[in-house]
Structure 1
Amino acid sequence: MTGGDHDPIVIVGTAVEAPGGVETLEDFWTALAGGQELIGPFPRDREWPLAQLLSLHETEGWRRVRDAGGFLDGATEFDAQFFGITPREAAAMDPQQRVGMRVAWRALENAGLNPGDLDGAEAGCYMGASFTEYGPPSAAVNEHSGYRATGTALGAVAGRISHGLGLIGPSLTVDTACASSLSALHLAVGAVRGGECDWALAGGVCVMGSPAAFFEFAKNNALAADGHCRAYAGDATGTLWGEGAAVVVLERESRARALGHLIHGRVLATGINHNGKGAPLAVPSAAAQQRLIERTVAAAGIPVDAIELIEGHGTGTPVGDPLELTALATVYGAPGRSRGPLLGSVKSNIGHAQAASGMLGLIKVLLCGQHGQIAPSLHAGTPTDAVRWSDTSLRLATELTDWQPVDGLRYAAVSSFGVAGTNAHAIVAMPTGVGREQEEAHV
């Protein structure tokens, strides 16, 4: 558990790449504020067995797979020469390495740093990512042989960024499944606070090297039947897979102020835990999530009713959403609150971006704070009846809503959990004036 520091860790740079051609923070906010669903058909340039995939329902015991997901437009594109990588090596690199490198570069530029002038910096890099079956098997003779070890190693997702920039601090790729990017944030915050590095990059990336996740969830009857991720909705039938990447730049607030960096948000506390034994590995635990949330709130040192926005995990699965809602409502939804927090999930816009989902949710929260508005969560007009909404002050964010600060700050929480049992939670505070006015002063 990290938190409770007199010199807090702050976020001074952000960048994102999301489905629907989103490559800038401005485009991401436009989509979120406008309630846009950035879902599209399966990519036709990855040599996936689409005929087999889209006909799975013809086999007994398999759910229909819709021709839909949240896919990155530029996942197959990479300027290898810009990053000093040969075309042959670049082709053997997992696209998650490539996308991670360019989004990290943009985050540094957003922080006012020159990415080309960081060689030897005592900076860390913590990236959430999971194996997604990119490329042919390594135990084969092909044109990629010789580059497969680094090309498919999960550690190289963070390692490529550190190597390309010349960063000499800790460099870790974190795989806790769908909790990976918030787990990476937790480790990065602890490293900066503990003096392991002067500052750090933290993020997550997911680019599907194969449609394996669609096959798996079609067999488990946990895939959305209609091609939409209906987080917390009464008509949700399962999740919808997506892709994306998001990276933030972290440092101590004293350093940020000394260097004149914009402060997008303070990381008040982060935490991770595990469900333990009992239920099957892939089944979430409301009790474990509740314990983690309570500990994270305590570490943040703020009253629980200060939280006015919760970016939940919200996969749209009939098992996961009710259990998550039970934990969130127990901690954040006290019936006595005059106005409970608003809850949403970016997965309703872009699908479930797996290892990158938590960080994409965090950047959504930062953009809401910057603009003073809470973006709507889609498909939430009729919420699930798995919880008694009349007994909780928790509310679903169904429309764009003004968000007033309290004493100059807006407080929010972000939650994730993974199929291997890891839960992650973060609480952030966003100062007012991070928008155009402060940017002009910064320039």
Structure 2
Amino acid sequence: MSGTDDPIVIAGMAVEAPGGIDTLTGYWAALEQGRELLEPLPRDRDWPIREMLSVHEHDGWGTIPDAGGFLTGATVFDPQFFGMSPREAVAADPQQRVALRVAWRALEQAGINPARLDGAEVGCFLGVSAMEYGPLVAEVNEHSGFRVVGKMQAAVAGRISHALGLTGPALTVDAACASSLAALHQAAAAVRAGECEWALAGAVCVMGSPAAFYEFAKNKAQAADGHCRPYAEGAAGTVWGEGAGVVVVERESRSRAMGHRVYGRILATRVNHNGGGAPLAVPSAAAQERLIRATLDAAGLDPALVGMIEGHGTATAVGDPIELAALAATYGAAHQSSDPVLLGSVKSNLGHAQAASGLLGLIKLLLCGAHGTVAPTLHAGEPTTAVDWAHSGLRLATTPQPWHPVDGIRYGAVSSFGVTGTNAHAVLALPALEDTHA
């Protein structure tokens, strides 16, 4: 997915993250300052907190930490502003509601009036996974009549297109933790193929139930102390989080003509699968290495030029070493030990936001490029011994690091890998923008 004559660019973006963050300025401040945005499990979602915190007492179960990265504004919504009735809004998965307002903000941030898009041939591609919100559809309750659409993942993209009057393709993508970069991949392809003039690409994760906590407790894959330590020797499992991000994707010629700011060129995106052999949920270093090489080949980019990688980095004992092996064999092999590529994961700040994790990482990468600084990854002062860092060509950014451009461009990469075997990777060229307000 390359194209140098008129490349696909990101011309606007918006984010919602834990810690009450709903602006790019707030997000960057938290990243640059190295703040951890985790907090205790929510007591206002009717979750069985006492049972959750004692689940480790069952034979064969691990600990559910009293911690996660949660959206404080997940229940806040103005239905009339988006043309919904109050009953319809309550019945709708909060992922639909959060995605709507983040998409609106992304358009405004790009300098596009969301209220004047009715009939526009614009695409909408959103990464979403099912989060078990609300009662069953097959029962009689006050939400009946609104629950089919309210519960559908397909309605996340469809709701945005409907509210804005967009007439291009509207697709919800579920590739588990790879969903958001897979959505970006489809959005860029659709714009390049002329299926739509431009597109929204994004993802959202709001946990309607604590299902993920129970599943990973059974697998003993959550950090008992509630801290996410990607690529660290002390990594003891992931910590769940929430979030949402949306970017505006268009051709650079259109962006320049409309006076939009270009945050980055999408040089290439690729998606693949682990294939068979190992259990479905076990990642594959070989598949990740193939994916990275294919993306770099499509971009026509020397990996030695890449200065920052925003990794998947879930802080699990299985996943991190596998990812590091693939990164060392590709990007690391192209770098001298005296000039390693900087690596990090935003999951150390806000937990693993599942379907939205790749977009939150992508926006981090774009902001790092805009500010000329690689934000630090937390809890990684003692890197894992699963990789020989001195000879890997990789280095963890544990403090803010300057990111120097090459001829006015910073080259970065971002990964996301799904628990069902789907992998996604993107390579971007970011113009040096630190002299302007990001």
Length-normalised TM-score, structure 2: 0.98
CA contact (8 A) 1:177 1:418 kept: yes
Deviations 1:264-305 (A, max 9, x none): 110000000000000000000000000000010111111110
- Given that residues 369 and 433 in structure 2 are in contact (C-alpha distance below 8 angstroms), is that contact kept between their aligned partners in structure 1? no
Structure 1: how far apart are the matches of 2:244 and 2:335? 38
The answer to whether residue 295 in structure 2 is matched with residue 296 in structure 1 is: yes
**SS of residue in 2 equivalent to 1:329:** helix
Measured after TM superposition, the shift of residue 390 of structure 1 is: 2.2
Q: Alpha-carbon deviations, 1:374-431, whole Å to 9, x = none?
A: 0000111001111111221100011001111110100000001000000000001111
**Which residue identity does 1:80 align to in structure 2?**
P
**Alignment partners' CA distance in 2, 1:232 and 1:180:** 22
Structure 1 residue 436 displacement after superposition? 2.5
Deviation for aligned residue 1:245: 0.1
Alignment partner of 1:368 is 2:368:
yes
- Deviation string 1:168-195 (CA, Å, 9 cap, x unpaired) is 0000000000000000000000000000
Cα deviation, 1:50-99, whole Å, max 9, x if unaligned, reads 11111101111111211100000011111111111000000000000000
Please name the residue that 1:110 is paired with.
109
Match of 1:379 in 2: 379
The 5-angstrom pairing of residues 322-341 of structure 1 reads 322-334=321-333, 337=336, 338-341=338-341
Number of the residue aligned with 2:319: 320
Assess if the C-alpha contact under 8 Å between 2:11 and 2:264 holds in 1.
yes
Q: Is the 8 A contact 2:371 2:433 kept in 1?
A: no
Query: AA paired with 2:25?
Result: E
- Aligned residues of 1:262 and 1:434 also touching (Cα < 8 A): no
Instruction: Output the CA distance in 2 between the equivalents of 1:3 and 1:62.
Output: 46
* Structure 2 counterpart of 1:7: 6
CA distance in 1, matches of 2:335, 2:84: 58
1:303 & 1:335 partners in 2: Cα distance?
Answer: 8
2:424 corresponds to 1:424: yes
Q: Which residue of 2 aligns with 1:224?
A: 223
**What residue is the counterpart of 2:199 in the other structure?**
200
Tell whether the 8 Å contact from 1:53 to 1:65 is kept in structure 2 after alignment: yes
- How many angstroms does 1:327 deviate by? 0.3
The yes-or-no answer on 1:32 pairing with 2:39 is no
Query: Percent identical across equivalent pairs?
Result: 67
Q: Using the alignment, how far apart are the partners of 1:43 and 1:435 within structure 2?
A: 40
The aligned residue for residue 345 of structure 2 is 345
CA deviation map 1:191-245 (0-9, x unaligned): 0000000000000000000000000000001111210110001011110000000
Cα distance in 2 for partners of 1:306, 1:416 equals: 21
Amino acid at match of 2:28: W
How many residues align? The count is 437
Counterpart for residue 169 of structure 2: 170
Q: Distance in 1 between matches of 2:54 and 2:365?
A: 38
Q: Distance in 2 between matches of 1:320 and 1:4?
A: 32
* Distance (Å, rounded) in 1 between the aligned partners of 2:427 and 2:267: 6
Instruction: Provide the C-alpha distance between the structure 2 equivalents of 1:416 and 1:66, rounded to a whole number of angstroms.
Output: 24
Measure the CA separation in 2 of the matches of 1:258 and 1:89: 39
Runs (4 or more) in structure 1 with deviation over 6 Å come to none
In the TM superposition, what are the counterparts of 1:381-396 in structure 2 within 5 Å?
381-396=381-396
Amino acid at match of 1:380: A
Q: Which residue of 2 aligns with 1:400?
A: 400
Q: What is the distance in 1 between the residues matched to 2:141 and 2:239? A: 33
User: Structure 2: how far apart are the matches of 1:436 and 1:302?
Assistant: 27
Q: CA RMSD in A?
A: 1.0
- Secondary structure of the residue that 1:272 maps to in structure 2? strand
- The Cα of 1:336 is off from its aligned counterpart by 5.5
Q: 1:125: which partner in 2? A: 124
Contact 1:192 1:199 in 2 (8 A): yes
